[in-house]
Amino acid sequence: MSSNEPDVTVLGAGIVGLCTALALQEKGLRVHLIDRDDPGQATSFGNAGIISPWSVVPQSMPGLWKKVPGWLLDPLGPVTIKPSYLPQVAGWGLRFLYEGRSTRIGPISEAMDLLNRDCIALYRQHLQGTGEEEIIRNSYYVHAFRNPAEADPDSTDYLMRRDKGADIERIGAEELHRLEPALSAEFQAALLIKGQARCLSPGRLGTVLAAKFQKQGGLFQRLSIKAILPHQNGGWLYNGLEHSGWTPKLVLAMGVWSAELLKPLGIKIPMQAERGYHVSFTAPGVSLNHSVMDMDMKFVASSMEEGLRVAGTAEFAGLDAPINQKRLEGLVRLASGMLPDLQSGQFSTWSGQRPSLPDSLPCIGEIPGFPDLIAAFGHSHYGLMMAPKTGRLVADIASNTSANLDLTPFNPLRF
Ligand X SMILES: Cc1cc2nc3c(=O)[nH]c(=O)nc-3n(C[C@H](O)[C@H](O)[C@H](O)COP(=O)(O)OP(=O)(O)OC[C@H]3O[C@@H](n4cnc5c(N)ncnc54)[C@H](O)[C@@H]3O)c2cc1C
Beta strands in 59-216 (DSSP E): 79-81, 136-145, 168-172, 189-199
Binder of ligand X out of 112, 114, 144, 225 (CB under 6 A): 225
The smaller minimum CB distance to ligand X, of residues 218 and 352, is found at: 352
Please give the radius of gyration of the chain, using alpha carbons only, rounded to the nearest integer: 21
Under rule CB under 6 A, residue 203 binds ligand X: no
Binder of ligand X out of 126, 309, 381, 392 (CB under 6 A): 381
Amino acid present at 344: S
Under rule CB under 6 A, residue 48 binds ligand X: yes
The full DSSP string for 11-47 is E--SHHHHHHHHHHHHTT--EEEEESSSTT-SGGGSS
Under rule CB under 6 A, residue 50 binds ligand X: yes
Q: Per CB under 6 A, which region of 40-48, 184-192, 207-215, 244-252 contacts ligand X?
A: 40-48
How many residues in total does the chain contain?
415
Under rule CB under 6 A, residue 145 binds ligand X: no
Residues 258-268 as b/e (b if ≥16 CB within 10 A, e otherwise) read: bbebbeeeebe
Under rule CB under 6 A, residue 47 binds ligand X: yes
Binder of ligand X out of 123, 145, 377, 410 (CB under 6 A): 377
Binder of ligand X out of 6, 9, 10, 14 (CB under 6 A): 14
Under rule CB under 6 A, residue 56 binds ligand X: no
Under rule CB under 6 A, residue 12 binds ligand X: yes
Q: Quote the crossing angle between the two packed helices 383-398 and 119-127, to the nearest 10°.
A: 70
The smaller minimum CB distance to ligand X, of residues 82 and 177, is found at: 82
Residues 317-376 that bind ligand X (CB under 6 A): 352, 354-355
Under rule CB under 6 A, residue 264 binds ligand X: no
Among candidate residues 225, 189, 23, 222, the one with its CA nearest the CA of residue 122: 23
Under rule CB under 6 A, residue 17 binds ligand X: yes
Binder of ligand X out of 135, 288, 311, 393 (CB under 6 A): 311
Residue 173: CB minimum distance to ligand X, A: 26
The size of the interface with ligand X (CB under 6 A), counted in residues, is 38
Binder of ligand X out of 138, 224, 282, 325 (CB under 6 A): 224
Under rule CB under 6 A, residue 276 binds ligand X: yes
Among candidate residues 112, 116, 103, 92, the one with its CA nearest the CA of residue 61: 103
In angstroms, the CA 320 to CA 276 distance is: 13
Q: Per CB under 6 A, which region of 61-69, 167-175, 252-260, 364-372 contacts ligand X?
A: 252-260
The smaller minimum CB distance to ligand X, of residues 249 and 354, is found at: 354
* The 225-230 sheet, strands edge to edge: 225-230, 236-240, 244-247
Backbone angles phi, psi at 222, to 5 degrees: -85, 115
Under rule CB under 6 A, residue 37 binds ligand X: yes
How many CB atoms are closer than 10 A to CB 2?
Answer: 4
Q: Per CB under 6 A, which region of 48-56, 63-71, 95-103, 280-288 contacts ligand X?
A: 48-56
CB 330 within 8 A of CB 76: yes
**Close Cβ partners of 136 (under 8 Å, ≥ 6 residues apart):** 51, 120, 123, 124, 127, 197, 198, 199, 200, 205
Binding site for ligand X (CB under 6 A): 12-17, 34-37, 42-44, 47-50, 224-225, 253-255, 257, 276, 278, 311-312, 352, 354-355, 377, 379-385
